[in-house]
Structure 1
Amino acid sequence: MRVVTYSLFGRNEKYLIGAIENARSVKDIYPGWVARFYVSASVPEAVCDRLKELGADVVRVEGEDQYRNTLWRFKAFSDPGVEYAISRDCDSRLTRREAEAVDAWIKSRRKFHIMRDHPWHQSLILAGMCGAVGGAVDFDRLWLAAGEDCYGVDQNVLATLIYPMVQKDSLIHDSFLRYEMDSLKFPGQRMNGEFVGEVVDENGATDVTHRAALQAVESSALLRTGLTVKTRAAALLKTIKRKLAE
């Protein structure tokens, strides 16, 4: 089984509607894959029913709504019945750009997949832009290592626990910072200014500031490979601030 895995909790329409939209599109973007949602009791039953109607797996998880719930989606990484699992955010949308990158990862036969597709994608592993072969991650160990509940707890534990373990067996697509010497550009061309992991609200709108920042960097000369990661990051941020102030 190949799974697109999500955490879903609370009643924020941005995430509830996003979950439904992603469940609807998974068959088109990822033929043969199944969307799986790990959901809390706070998610309306009508939403769960709609997800099931669209062919998604809905897994109820006990517990209060908290930031640590974002880790639930990584349960699929430990599922022995899963061949490949990719973790995504409910407030983003599945795209063909990411699907091409995932296809390249599967063909590489590496255990882990990492994507960064925007100048502000500066985490070692973005929680909604990664993937793993089944059994590559021990969820119980991940959960225990998460520590104190806080915003960004998912990416913190991915950076401190998972990244050191998987870096050498990962295929990494990185459009800008390229922390790793062997990271690759995304296959294919960027379409209409979109980027993987772009946040979309409940009305289908994206953040114009994020797209402006992307355009500012792509139109500059900062993508040459001669710069160090630290210098490139500082230059990218400086360019973004200048362009957004114009």
Structure 2
Amino acid sequence: MPITQRFFIHFIIAVTIFSSIIYILFRYNYQQATSIYTTINADYRRRPECSCTRPELLPLVSNLTTNSAETSSFHCSQYANHRGPNQRIISVSLFGPKENKMFQFNRSLNFLNELINDMNKVYSDGFTLRIYHDNTINTTDIVCPIECQNPNVDFCNMNSKLFIPPKIWRFIPAGDPLVDIMMSRDLDSALTQRERSAVNAWLASNKSFHAMRDHPMHGVPMLGGMWGFRPSLNANLSRIIHNKIHREDLIKNYGGRNDQTFLANEIWPHAKSSIIVHDSFLCKSNFGQQPLPFPTQRPSFNETNCFIGCVRPCCGFGRPPFGECPKDCRPKDHPEWVYC
């Protein structure tokens, strides 16, 4: 066979092999890209267990949700991820009788419905309620109807993170890079205008943290259901908090009712240099910072929820649950606020 003919045959074989390799690589990459796109853009509006569909969200402008290895550690739900960055979160923990001896299903569900009503009145300006829960909460019967009826509510199943104590689940948004503002609250306590005024004062500042103490018994640096953090102001500290919460050998020491011990030991040393504290009784306590008076006067004791953090139902009987607040804890321009 002439050399020219052999060269032509070899050339044809080489081109065929090269084309086959290119085709295989293209098909593989296309399938991978399609798989990623499908995972990210599957109908995130409907959980597999739900017959209802949630409202469409604006298209994402961030690629944070595309890194599944990264997002898995702070993942709440697919819908929550599709909300994108700059989320404003109020978070609560909801867990069952194994970890919570006080748990009563109907009572907890009533608390949750009341909290959602509060959200719609007090935090209607772009805040989302995240509910971190265990498998006590049935997806089909509870999660689906509540999420589909309330576009500002996301349920976050913690079944894959049960090593984290339940009362600390609600702290997880502090380490979430999709979150701009987070506030940890109690399921059984009302969200009030008095609280919102204090939160507004904090958000108008350049301080990373917020804490409230509104009762003579609120004698700790930070209460588990009355603090907030702005991850957007300190991304490095947000990552530190995330790592602390997810470090099994550390977090196991803060089970049960030790969520406030976790805050005192692990968060307060970082927080106290950049925090606004509103304190109506213990403003002279030696926690290492100078508290401020609440910007609004306390509601009448004839009204319900006369102090922040009280368990429903509270107050409303005309009998003060405590005495006058100290003069040093009253606003300088309102010394007459004996119940401040």
TM-score w.r.t. structure 2 length?
A: 0.58
- 1:40 matched to 2:134? The reply is yes
- 1:197 matched to 2:283? The reply is no
Separation in 1 of the partners of 2:299 and 2:282? 20
Task: Report the AA paired with residue 51 of structure 1.
Answer: I
Query: C-alpha root-mean-square deviation of aligned residues, in Å?
Result: 2.5
Task: Report the AA paired with residue 200 of structure 2.
Answer: D
- Give the drift of 1:70: 1.0
TM-score w.r.t. structure 1 length?
A: 0.79
Task: Report the AA paired with residue 245 of structure 2.
Answer: L
Which string of whole-angstrom CA distances, capped at 9 and with x for unpartnered residues, describes residues 91-121 of structure 1?
A: 1011011001001001012100000001111
- Give the drift of 1:66: 9.0
Go from structure 1 to structure 2 and tell me whether the alpha carbon gap of 1:73 and 1:43 turns closer, same or farther (over 3 Å shift): same
Task: Report the AA paired with residue 199 of structure 2.
Answer: V
- Provide the residue aligned with 1:21 in structure 2: 114
- 1:116 matched to 2:213? The reply is yes
Given that 1:174 and 1:184 are in contact with CA atoms closer than 8 Å, whether structure 2 keeps it comes out as yes
- Give the drift of 1:20: 2.0
Task: Indicate the structure whose relative CO is greater, using CA pairs within 8 Å and at least 6 residues apart.
Answer: 1
- Which residue of the other structure, out of 151, 155, 168, is the alignment partner of 2:256? 151
Given that 2:223 and 2:260 are in contact with CA atoms closer than 8 Å, whether structure 1 keeps it comes out as yes
Separation in 2 of the partners of 1:181 and 1:124? 10
Separation in 2 of the partners of 1:169 and 1:32? 25
Go from structure 1 to structure 2 and tell me whether the alpha carbon gap of 1:181 and 1:83 turns closer, same or farther (over 3 Å shift): closer
- Which residue of the other structure, out of 165, 186, 198, is the alignment partner of 1:89? 186
Separation in 1 of the partners of 2:252 and 2:158? 19
- Provide the residue aligned with 1:238 in structure 2: none
Given that 1:9 and 1:65 are in contact with CA atoms closer than 8 Å, whether structure 2 keeps it comes out as no
The runs of 4+ residues in structure 1 deviating greater than 6 Å are 64-67
Go from structure 1 to structure 2 and tell me whether the alpha carbon gap of 1:51 and 1:65 turns closer, same or farther (over 3 Å shift): farther
Separation in 2 of the partners of 1:192 and 1:173? 19
Separation in 2 of the partners of 1:29 and 1:116? 19
Q: How many aligned residue pairs are there?
A: 216
Task: Report the AA paired with residue 243 of structure 2.
Answer: D
Q: Structure 1: where are the runs of 5+ without partners?
A: 227-246
Given that 2:165 and 2:252 are in contact with CA atoms closer than 8 Å, whether structure 1 keeps it comes out as no
- Provide the residue aligned with 1:132 in structure 2: 229
SS at match of 1:85: strand
SS at match of 2:327: coil
Identical aligned residues as a percent: 30
- Which residue of the other structure, out of 142, 163, 171, is the alignment partner of 2:245? 142
- Provide the residue aligned with 2:173 in structure 1: 76
Separation in 1 of the partners of 2:194 and 2:315? 19
* Mapping 1:142-221, distance limit 5 Å: 142-144=245-247, 145-148=250-253, 150-178=255-283, 179=285, 180-193=288-301, 194-200=306-312, 205-206=313-314, 212-214=320-322, 217-218=323-324
Which string of whole-angstrom CA distances, capped at 9 and with x for unpartnered residues, describes residues 55-83 of structure 1?
A: 20111111698991111111111111111
Separation in 2 of the partners of 1:188 and 1:207? 18
- Provide the residue aligned with 1:8 in structure 2: 94
- Provide the residue aligned with 2:56 in structure 1: none
Separation in 2 of the partners of 1:149 and 1:224? 36
Q: Which has the larger radius of gyration?
A: 2
- Give the drift of 1:21: 1.5
